[in-house]
Amino acid sequence: MTDNRIGDGALFSNRQLGIKDENRAPSPIIEHAKGSKLYDVDGNEYTDYCLNCGVNILGHANHNVVLSAKKHAERGICFGATTKAEIDLSRYLIEKIPSLQKVRFVNSGTEATLSAIRLARCVTGRRYVVSFEGMYHGFHGLVPVVHHQEQCCDCSSSGMVLPFNDILAFERAIEKNKNDIACVIMEPVAVHMGIIPARPDFLTAVRDLTKKHGIVLIFDEIMTGFRGFPGCVESELGMVPDLTCLGTVIGGGFPIGVYGGRADMMRWLAPEGNVFQAGTFAANPVILRAGMMTLRLMNENFYKALNRKADRFAQELNMFFEEHQIEARIVQWYSMLSLRFSKRDVNDYKEAQNIQRPGLYTEMFQYLLARHIYFPPVATEPFFISGKHSKADLNDLADAIKTFMKNKGDERC
């Protein structure tokens, strides 16, 4: 059963495909999920490469995570008071993430970035928020959602959106507005424009200039945190921002957001300081226990096996594209991958836009869905491999992409 009247609130709605209402392909209505598979209400099985925006890194409904949630739910679902779960998970995160001296748990990534930006504004007494084109930090409106062409962002008077990886543009903008800029927020690996890592010299310039002018640097590691190893990009780079936002995998499939960083800044938050931030459902102990269980299960061996699977998959497809002179490439950051219809290197949003072939991608998405493969419907969104994707799952996906791309090549000849 499918229904094309609903589903627009879902992560991957047909609307994102840019298909007019009357021509919309209906979305499957999901009934349950296990491991690498989703099942719709008619019992159709799909291999899931969206994993709810990469949240389900262990695969759906991991036995130990579900048991932990059940066990802790039976002991009381929420208390509105500090719990041992909060202390344990805070300690774990502080140990793994260099910038974290103190942390706060919230209910989503959007809330984490919103709270971090608010804190930066209060600490600096400045208003401007610098972000980079094509990055996504949530829908709160403090940072525009460029790739969704949002119209109603309230940041026109206080936001500056700069090209990513462009040192000169960054230096000029900072020099001109340094006394008004509260913070720079960025993903050190830009996830929503086809996986583009920040160039090391760009990151160094951002860190140096923000430090020099007392501007708060916020890393949004909501997608990259704990994705490839027990840490995040800043752990790998040895570059410490002032504040870091985390989310997705840390809640074990439940809603979560985390922000934290320098203790002197975090002390501005109530009750120690005067910046009020609260949430009825924040730091929910059931979620924090499920998250802690998830992080414990992601040990060295887990990451090694998962990253090896992703490496092999990317290598196999890239070799195939090379051999058949197909203008495509798999771009990869550990188990997060993106299919780019170009072999060119891409450094920013404009270049990412220039290589887009939305019609071709939509066709591929529908081709895969017809083969019961659930793939992101938007070309610039990444796809994910979980600990539960089998060799057979990945072979099916590789074969389907190869066949589709080869047929498209043959059609053009």
Does residue number 222 form part of the binding site for ligand PMP (CB under 6 A)?
A: yes
Q: Which residues pair with 190 in a beta bridge?
A: 196
Q: Which residue among 53, 57, 89, 195 contacts ligand PMP (CB under 6 A)?
A: 53
Judged by CB under 6 A, the residue of 14, 36, 113, 335 near ligand PMP is 113
Q: Are 136 and 146 in contact (CB under 8 A)?
A: no
User: Is 381 one of the binding residues for ligand PMP (CB under 6 A)?
Assistant: no
The backbone torsions φ and ψ at residue 28, rounded to the nearest 5 degrees and listed phi first, read -65, 145
CA distance readout (Å), 250 to 167, 171, 193, 292, 402? 32, 34, 23, 7, 34
- Binding of ligand PMP at residue 187 (CB under 6 A)? yes
The least distance separating ligand PMP from the CB of residue 56, rounded to whole angstroms, comes to 13
Q: Which one, 191 or 331, has the nearer CB to ligand PMP?
A: 191
Q: Which residue's Cβ lies closest to ligand PMP?
A: 109
Q: Does 283 bind ligand PMP (CB under 6 A)?
A: no
The whole-angstrom separation of Cα 303 and Cα 229 is: 6
What gap in Å lies between CA 261 and CA 245, rounded to an integer?
9
For position 137 contacting ligand PMP by CB under 6 A, the verdict is yes
Q: Which lies closer to ligand PMP via its Cβ, residue 257 or residue 285? A: 257
Note whether 40 binds ligand PMP by CB under 6 A: no
Minimum distance of ligand PMP from residue 358's CB (angstroms): 20
Our CB check for ligand PMP shows the closer of 65 and 250 to be 250
Instruction: Based on the shown chain and the rule CB under 6 A, indicate whether residue 198 belongs to the binding site for ligand PMP.
Output: no
Distance CA 183, CA 130 (A): 6
CA distance to 113, 119, 126, 285, per residue, from 276 (Å): 15, 9, 17, 21
Taking contact as CB under 6 A, which single stretch among the options 90-98, 136-144, 230-238, 351-359 is the one that binds ligand PMP? 136-144
Least Å from the CB of residue 306 to ligand PMP: 19
How far lies 215's CA from each of 144, 163, 218, 265, 271, in Å? 20, 18, 10, 12, 24
How distant, in Å, are the alpha carbons of 101, 191, 205, 279, 315 from that of 240? 11, 20, 13, 28, 32
138 touches ligand PMP (CB under 6 A): yes
Give me the least distance between CB of 1 and ligand PMP, in Å please: 27
To ligand PMP, the closest distance from the beta carbon of 231 in angstroms equals: 16
With CB under 6 A as the contact rule, the residue among 62, 83, 108, 165 that binds ligand PMP is: 108
If binding means CB under 6 A, how many residues of this protein chain bind ligand PMP?
Answer: 16
Does 223 participate in binding ligand PMP (rule CB under 6 A)? yes
The one among 56, 90, 99, 110 contacting ligand PMP by CB under 6 A: 110
Q: Is 136 in the site for ligand PMP (CB under 6 A)?
A: yes
Q: Is residue 130 close enough to count as binding ligand PMP by CB under 6 A? A: no
Nearer to ligand PMP, 166 or 220 (CB): 220
State the Cα–Cα distance between residues 220 and 190, nearest whole angstrom: 9
Cβ atoms of 45 and 393 closer than 8 Å = no
Question: Which of residues 256 and 339 has its CB atom nearest to ligand PMP in the complex?
Answer: 256
252 token code pair: 């074990």
Q: How far is the CB of 255 from ligand PMP (least distance, A)?
A: 7
**362 lies in the site for ligand PMP, by CB under 6 A:** no
Please give the residue ranges that form the binding site for ligand PMP (CB under 6 A): 53, 108-110, 113, 136-138, 187, 191, 220, 222-223, 247-248, 257
